[in-house]
Amino acid sequence: MPNYKSREEVPLEEKWDLHDIYDSLTTWESDLKSVAERTEQLKTYDGNITDAKSLYDYLVLSEETGYTYKKVYVYAMLQADLDTRDSKPQALLDRAKSLGVKLSSATSFFMPFLLSLDEKTLKSYIDQIEGLKYFEEDLMESYRYKTHVLTKEKEEVLSDLGEALSSPSNTFGMINNADIKFGKVTTKDGEKVELTRGMYSKLIEDDNRDVRREAYKAYYQPYVQLNNTIASTLSAAIKNNVTLAKMRKYPSALEKSLFSDMVPKDVYDNLIKVTKDHITPLHKYQNIRKETLGLDELRQYDLNVPLVKDVKEEITFDEAYQTMLDSLAPLGEEYVETLRSFKEKRYFDVRETPGKRSGAYNLGLYGVHPFVLLNHQDDLDSLFTLVHECGHAMHSWYSSNHQPQITAGYSIFVAEVASTVNEVLLIRYLLKTTKDEKMKKHLLNHFIDSFRGTMFTQVMFAEFEKTTHEKAENGGPLNAEVFNDVYEKIFREFNGNEMVFDDEVKYGWSRIPHFYRPFYVYKYATGYAAAIHIADQLLEGKSETLEKYMTFLKSGSSDYPLELLKAAGVDLTKPEPIRSALTIFSELVDEFASL
């Protein structure tokens, strides 16, 4: 696996081509200036939308400005993520963010204005100008928010506070990506090297328990040291959520988060309840893990080591890409060929380099194309990450190419479905095509671990979010001690008595960036359950399943997420999809136990 010391060493074909957004910084500057000018123009509509024509003109200008702003912001963000230590792209991003706050402030009058119109007047405007039909659904949807929109003055104040309110998240991001140093660990050759996140994901799977323990202790050390600082950023983020929910007259911060997707609170509560009711197979698996590894006691740093030895194989990026294309054949030729072209067109930034943002993501930019950030390590996990992110990228591509701009973006609630369908198709493909029995066992182990990470771990996180927000809503304190206690209690419940809990366990909450996007992680679990169902149907080769699924991928946000999923054959308002997924998990554990 290549170990690049700088971006210059990475081959061109494994780097993003950001020229697809802007050919030069001059063009970016020009668009930034144009957004700033249009932002001033948008302000002039405050108090001056008096008829159908002025409403239409405002909406067109607002959409055009928003589109250009997104390009400006995304370009700066993608540059900044390539090296979080480099102050130049960071400065571009800061300017884009600052302009975003001004744009938000300039348009903050609109929602209160719209809701001051009675529906009859609005409908008469829509009847007068053909172009307003394009905006009709969005305009009418706004009335759902009527009780949650504040006065014009208060909305302006909240917009002006945008940057301040996102400060806890930004601060944590800088601590986590730019400032944290994990110290040194010893390699197999006895050499002391600086630990990185990419390296940690490797070392925590090492056969040598001393190596795993050392990496684990080194990885958690900065989080333990910064425990109070990170607690203050998370506490501020949670209190911001709770305060905004109260100000906007939502029953709770959770219900505020669920409102836009029209997801009933029962869906969230059921997810936690049904998962905890079916926790026994997970505990059984932990026991199998302990026995297979021949341990007297199972600890957190034993949870990621593969249970089947000597099957580690190097999979280059090119090989991983081809395997992905082969495994996704059930999605049809058009899907596979479109995805093949993404690599040739350099939609990916593939390699880990110093200062690069950790992890992986897809960012779909309407009118341009998806951009996928990876930190590819030439192993099986990286293959799964690639397949996962390409699920998102293809969802972005289909929605952007089949929906107008207004409905092209899809809700986070359905986002994890496309990525996980791809993962399930990959694992089923590998299990079917692999002749090596040992590799089959390894893949089964991988499937179980992926299930554990995407379903059980995310539900555990979801319960942590719910509990901590409820504490804030009831006026309870939020500090490092509270977070540690809540996290440790839930972690113990999920992981059972087979595990011996190191002191580091309770600090696990402090390294999770998703907690700064409130009530986001539960969507991984609901998406996973839905995807398991869809993928198994696709593998049966039913043409109507493929047709329904492709329609789902092309639908963007043209309906509420639960409705889009119902049309694809999954009803998450009922506990069955969750129960069914957990039954499959139980079967996988039994199958693995029998081996």
Domain count, the chain: 2
Q: What confidence score (pLDDT) does residue 123 get?
A: 95
Is 109 within a domain? yes
Domain boundary among 107, 130, 165: 165
Is 325 within a domain? yes
For residue 115, what pLDDT band results from cuts at 50, 70 and 90?
confident
Is 489 within a domain? no
Mean pLDDT of 297-318: 90
Q: Among the options 389, 416, 463, 473, which is catalytic?
A: 389
Q: What confidence score (pLDDT) does residue 156 get?
A: 85
Q: What confidence score (pLDDT) does residue 229 get?
A: 96
Cβ-contact 163, 97 below 8 angstroms:
yes
Is 232 within a domain? no
Has 13 been annotated as catalytic?
no
Is 594 within a domain? no
The yes-or-no verdict on residue 148 having pLDDT over 80 is: yes
Say which residues have a Cβ less than 8 Å from residue 344's Cβ, sequence separation at least 6. Answer: none
Domain boundary among 165, 185, 207: 165
Is 53 within a domain? yes
**pLDDT single digits (tens) 203-246:** 998 889 999 999 999 999 999 999 999 999 999 999 999 999 99
Could you tell me which of 259, 278, 365, 380 has the C-alpha nearest to residue 319?
380
Report the alpha-carbon distance of residue 461 to residue 252 in Å, rounded: 18
Report the alpha-carbon distance of residue 262 to residue 376 in Å, rounded: 36
Say which residues have a Cβ less than 8 Å from residue 571's Cβ, sequence separation at least 6. Answer: 562, 565, 577
Mean pLDDT of 233-260: 96
Q: What confidence score (pLDDT) does residue 135 get?
A: 96
Cβ-contact 390, 339 below 8 angstroms:
yes
Cβ-contact 69, 75 below 8 angstroms:
no
Mean pLDDT of 55-83: 97
Identify the CATH number of the domain in which residue 335 sits: 1.10.1370.20
The yes-or-no verdict on residue 152 having pLDDT over 90 is: no
Report the alpha-carbon distance of residue 511 to residue 524 in Å, rounded: 18
Cβ-contact 136, 102 below 8 angstroms:
no
Report the alpha-carbon distance of residue 384 to residue 32 in Å, rounded: 37
Is 364 within a domain? yes
**pLDDT single digits (tens) 308-329:** 887 778 899 999 999 999 999 9
Identify the CATH number of the domain in which residue 76 sits: 1.20.140.70
User: What share of the chain has pLDDT > 90, as a percent?
Assistant: 79
**Lowest mean pLDDT segment, chosen from 186-190, 270-274, 403-407:** 186-190
Q: Domain limits at 360?
A: 317-441+521-584
**pLDDT single digits (tens) 34-65:** 999 999 999 999 999 999 999 999 999 999 99
Mean pLDDT of 484-499: 94
Could you tell me which of 520, 349, 317, 336 has the C-alpha nearest to residue 422?
336
Taking phi over 0 as left and psi of -120 to 50 as alpha, with beta for the rest, 367 belongs to: left
Mean pLDDT of 559-587: 93
Report the alpha-carbon distance of residue 329 to residue 233 in Å, rounded: 45
For residue 93, what pLDDT band results from cuts at 50, 70 and 90?
very high
For residue 191, what pLDDT band results from cuts at 50, 70 and 90?
confident
Q: What confidence score (pLDDT) does residue 578 get?
A: 94
The yes-or-no verdict on residue 201 having pLDDT over 90 is: no
For residue 380, what pLDDT band results from cuts at 50, 70 and 90?
confident
Cβ–Cβ contacts within 10 Å for residue 542, how many? 11
Q: What confidence score (pLDDT) does residue 159 get?
A: 84
CA dihedral in degrees (578, 580, 581, 583; nearest 10)? 120
**pLDDT single digits (tens) 437-463:** 888 898 999 899 989 998 999 999 999
Can you give the three-state secondary structure of 464-515, one letter per residue? HHHHHHHHHHCCCCCCHHHHHHHHHHHHHHHHCCCECCCHHHHHHHHHCHHH
Domain boundary among 116, 149, 165: 165
Is 347 within a domain? yes
For residue 162, what pLDDT band results from cuts at 50, 70 and 90?
confident
Q: What is the pTM of this model?
A: 0.80
For residue 151, what pLDDT band results from cuts at 50, 70 and 90?
confident
Could you tell me which of 513, 522, 518 has the C-alpha nearest to residue 242?
518
Mean pLDDT, the chain, whole residue set: 93
